[in-house]
């Protein structure tokens, strides 16, 4: 067919002019060229078909990989959510245990503090009673000493107009000695009262501070 097609194109050429052998050579050359081109076209078509097949395979593979990645991402998110939930649960349990521990320690410390304060209050009240009793005792001694001083001074005034005798001098000396002794007692008792009163005040401030 290839030769017939080529021959048809040159049918009008006169074969009597000695050009037939030349034309046959050209025909053979053209047929060989066409055959080669057809072979190359067929090869290219085969290559295109193979390329398209590979493209389809790669596209399908890409879809599979994409699907697998999406599945892995979802699984990772689910795993992450599960891990976060587990961490939250563990954290909540740990916080609850910590709060319970702190509460137990706090309650224990509070109970100890209450017990300590009860004991301290008892000691404070007992010490206050003792100091109050001491104050009353020292005030009583002070009142006795000052009362004695007043009485002795009145007696001195009464004896001031008496006749001067040796017995009177002895009596006056004894009275002055008693006045001096009671005066020392009064001064000393007042100092003790002041010190004890300050101690009562300090104890009260310490108790209120605690």
Listed in sequence order, the residues at least 6 apart from 178 whose beta carbon sits closer than 8 Å to its beta carbon are 148, 152
Residue ranges of domains in the chain: 2-6+20-209
When pLDDT is averaged across residues 117-124 and rounded to a whole number, the result is 79
How far out from the chain centre does Cα 90 lie? 17
Helix axes 20-159, 2-9, angle to 10 degrees: 120
Q: Residue 19 has what pLDDT?
A: 57
Report whether pLDDT(6) > 60.
no
Q: Residue 81 has what pLDDT?
A: 73
Report whether pLDDT(67) > 50.
yes
Q: Between 42 and 2, name the one with better pLDDT.
A: 42
Residue 86's pLDDT band, with cuts at 50, 70 and 90, is low
**CA-based nearest residue to 174, from 185, 184, 166, 186:** 166
**CA-based nearest residue to 182, from 142, 155, 154, 210:** 142
When pLDDT is averaged across residues 67-72 and rounded to a whole number, the result is 79
Q: For 137-196, what is each residue's pLDDT tens digit?
A: 889 989 988 898 888 888 888 877 777 778 878 888 888 888 889 899 889 988 888 988
When pLDDT is averaged across residues 23-41 and rounded to a whole number, the result is 81
Query: What torsion, rounded to 10 degrees, do the Cα atoms 140, 146, 150, 156 define?
Result: 120
When pLDDT is averaged across residues 104-118 and rounded to a whole number, the result is 73
CA distance 140 to 198: 19
CA distance 62 to 54: 12
Q: Residue 20 has what pLDDT?
A: 61
Q: Residue 5 has what pLDDT?
A: 46
Angle at alpha carbon of residue 56, lines to 53 and 59, rounded to 5°: 150
Q: Residue 15 has what pLDDT?
A: 45
Report whether pLDDT(16) > 50.
no
Q: Between 174 and 210, name the one with better pLDDT.
A: 174
CA distance 107 to 119: 18
């Amino acid at each position: 067919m290839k030769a017939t097609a080529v021959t048809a194109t040159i049918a009008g050429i006169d074969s009597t002019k000695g050009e037939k052998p030349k034309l046959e050579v050209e025909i053979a050359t053209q047929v060989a060229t066409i055959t080669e081109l057809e072979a190359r076209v067929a090869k290219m078509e085969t290559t295109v078909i193979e390329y398209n097949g590979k493209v389809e395979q790669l596209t399908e593979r890409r879809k599979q990989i994409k699907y697998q990645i999406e599945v892995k991402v979802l699984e990772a998110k689910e795993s992450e959510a599960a891990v976060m939930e587990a961490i939250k649960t563990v954290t909540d349990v740990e916080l609850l245990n910590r709060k319970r521990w702190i509460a137990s320690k706090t309650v224990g410390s509070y109970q100890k503090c209450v017990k300590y304060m009860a004991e301290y209050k008892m000691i404070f009240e007992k010490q206050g009673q003792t100091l109050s009793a001491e104050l009353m005792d020292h005030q009583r001694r002070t009142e006795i000493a000052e009362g004695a001083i007043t009485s002795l001074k009145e007696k001195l005034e009464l004896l001031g107009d008496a006749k001067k005798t040796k017995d009177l001098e002895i009596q006056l000396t004894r009275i002055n000695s008693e006045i001096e002794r009671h005066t020392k007692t009064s001064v000393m008792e007042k100092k003790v009262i002041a010190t004890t009163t300050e101690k009562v005040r300090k104890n009260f401030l310490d108790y209120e501070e605690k």
